Amino acid sequence: MNHSSVSSGSPSPAARTGDAVRRMTARSRDEEHRASTPLELFFDLCFVVAVAQAGGRLVHAIADGHAGHGVAGYFLLFFAIWWAWMNFSWFASAYDTDDVPYRVTTLVQIVGVLLLAAGVPRGFDDGDFQLVAIGYAVMRLALVTQWLRAARSAEGEDAAGARKTAVRYAIGVTACQAGWMVLLLPHGAPPGWAFLVLAAAELVVPPLAERAAPTSWHPHHIAERYGLFTIIVLGESVAAATVAVQSAVDEHSALGDLLPIAAGGLLIVFSAWWIYFAVPIHDYLVSNRQAFLWGYGHYAVFTSAAAIGAGLEIAVEQAVGSGDISLRTAAWSVTIPTAVFLFTVWLLHSRHSKHGVAQQLTLPVAALGVLACAWTGEHAVLWAGLVCAGAVAVGVALQAREPV
């Protein structure tokens, strides 16, 4: 499916500074030097709070022997975080006007993020998702007002299609949000099947809405936005692991036991960064079909990247004897999310630029190798880090052998 702009495009906000209110017409997909704005970066940083809350509760659940409950709650809450972030990012790529109403509405969405983050502990511990539901509603309904504004501002040859797409988005998001409020506002954890139904409904809104006319998202901008959020999530993993090591050293003076975990964790995170950014992806994002699969697949990339940090915290707690955590559980807590990250980055990202069997197999084989590290005992994290670093080294060597 070929992707075309909803309209012929409009000047970038930088070219129209000083306007308090602008028409929210689609930006050009061919706009040069399109980069993330300071407001988008601020928006991303505020999401770190919610990511940290979800990861922290996952650690506590596993440490208390409730791994199943913790993993399920983590995936549920991270879906709300990821989906709200993703919807804002794709909308902004097509319609960012950077005027006063747009900025205020985005700041309102940030308030919703903070409310959701504040509700994470109650949702995890008590099954009370009321505050999570309210925060999610603030984020989503603020986005509805943006879509309605885009519908009202549509102009040009494709105005009818653009207006229909925007209205479909507004209706779809509102309908899903009504379902979430019914599901989450009553006290008590929602049934799993109901969550899956509403999550599926959320996922089908964009494909259905864009049948009328595709929005003019910018491939370079989208690739940068996803890359920046990946960096933020990996950074949160580093921060979480650092705090865990510091606390363990302060309370248990177990530096010798923690050095292999710290070294392995850094190798994993450094390798994850290297692997994700080894090749540009914007040239692959040429249609809605490819972009939707790539964008949706990043749910696994983001959840696994954040879970690496949680796993490192669990490994630290096991090493110092805090909590009821077995050696194998601690190892799986790091190796599983690391393997998922390696495989999904290859599946979504890297394989499109790989040539030959050796290059294609490097990351899948490394993912299997990382999983096998769970059987290496107390140094599982260090071995997993060495496998990841080895995958990077092999990838660099194979790329260097290619003819220029």
Written as one string, the DSSP assignment of 307-375 is HHHHHHHHHHHHHTT-SS--HHHHHHHHHHHHHHHHHHHHHHTGGGG--HHHHHHHHHHHHHHHHHGGG
Tell me whether residue 249 is in a domain.
yes
Which amino acid, residue 104?
Answer: V
pLDDT for the residue numbered 18:
44
Tell me whether residue 101 is in a domain.
yes
Residue 305 tokens, joined: 């990247």
Residue with tokens 């539901």: 133
Q: Looking at the structure, tell me whether residues 249 and 369 fall in a common domain.
A: yes
Tell me whether residue 243 is in a domain.
yes
Tell me whether residue 127 is in a domain.
yes
Q: How far apart are CA 198 and CA 342, in angstroms?
A: 29
Q: Looking at the structure, tell me whether residues 201 and 227 fall in a common domain.
A: no
Q: Looking at the structure, tell me whether residues 309 and 206 fall in a common domain.
A: no
Closest among 380, 305, 348, 282 to 29, alpha carbons compared: 282
Q: Looking at the structure, tell me whether residues 100 and 197 fall in a common domain.
A: yes
CA separation (Å) from 350 to 60, 130, 324, 364?
34, 40, 38, 11
Q: Looking at the structure, tell me whether residues 141 and 235 fall in a common domain.
A: no
Q: Looking at the structure, tell me whether residues 192 and 69 fall in a common domain.
A: yes
Closest among 241, 389, 234, 372 to 315, alpha carbons compared: 241
Q: Looking at the structure, tell me whether residues 226 and 186 fall in a common domain.
A: no
Phi first, then psi, for residue 390 (nearest 5°) are: -65, -40
Q: How far apart are CA 27 and CA 300, in angstroms?
A: 29
pLDDT for the residue numbered 246:
75
Task: Calculate the average pLDDT of the chain.
Answer: 86
pLDDT for the residue numbered 157:
67
Residue 88 tokens, joined: 């804002």
Q: Which domain-ending residue is among 173, 193, 216?
A: 216
pLDDT for the residue numbered 373:
95
Q: Looking at the structure, tell me whether residues 212 and 237 fall in a common domain.
A: no
Q: Which domain-ending residue is among 183, 216, 249?
A: 216
Section 55-62 average pLDDT? 87
Residue 130 pLDDT > 70, yes or no? yes
Residue 388 pLDDT > 90, yes or no? yes
Tell me whether residue 284 is in a domain.
yes
Q: Looking at the structure, tell me whether residues 53 and 111 fall in a common domain.
A: yes
Share of the chain above pLDDT 70, in %: 91
The pLDDT-based confidence of 404 (bands split at 50, 70, 90) is: low
242-251, 326-335, 370-379: range with lowest mean pLDDT: 242-251
Residue 14 pLDDT > 50, yes or no? no
Q: Looking at the structure, tell me whether residues 166 and 307 fall in a common domain.
A: no
CATH at 333: 1.20.1410
Tell me whether residue 352 is in a domain.
yes
Q: How far apart are CA 315 and CA 319, in angstroms?
A: 6
Tell me whether residue 246 is in a domain.
yes
> Which sign does the torsion angle of CA 237, 243, 246, 249 carry?
negative
Q: Which domain-ending residue is among 216, 248, 267?
A: 216
Residue 347 pLDDT > 50, yes or no? yes
- Residue 90: count of CB within 10 angstroms of its CB: 20
| pLDDT digit string, tens, across residues 355-383 | 888 888 999 999 999 999 999 988 899 99
Compute the C-alpha angle 267/273/278, nearest 5°.
120
Give the orientation angle of helix 159-184 with respect to helix 130-153, to 10 degrees.
Answer: 170
pLDDT for the residue numbered 374:
93
Q: Looking at the structure, tell me whether residues 195 and 249 fall in a common domain.
A: no
Report pTM.
0.88
- Residue 11: count of CB within 10 angstroms of its CB: 12
Q: How far apart are CA 227 and CA 34, in angstroms?
A: 14
Whether 188 and 37 have beta carbons less than 8 Å apart is answered as: no
Q: What share of the chain is helix, strand, coil (3-state, %, to 5)?
A: 80, 0, 20
pLDDT for the residue numbered 17:
47
- Highest mean pLDDT range out of 24-38, 287-301, 306-320, 380-394? 380-394
Q: How far apart are CA 402 and CA 74, in angstroms?
A: 42
Residue 378 tokens, joined: 């107390």
> Which sign does the torsion angle of CA 362, 299, 315, 318 carry?
negative
Q: Looking at the structure, tell me whether residues 195 and 234 fall in a common domain.
A: no
Q: Domain tally for the chain?
A: 2
| pLDDT digit string, tens, across residues 389-399 | 999 999 999 88
Tell me whether residue 8 is in a domain.
no
Domain, as residue range, for 294: 220-400
Q: How far apart are CA 317 and CA 246, in angstroms?
A: 11
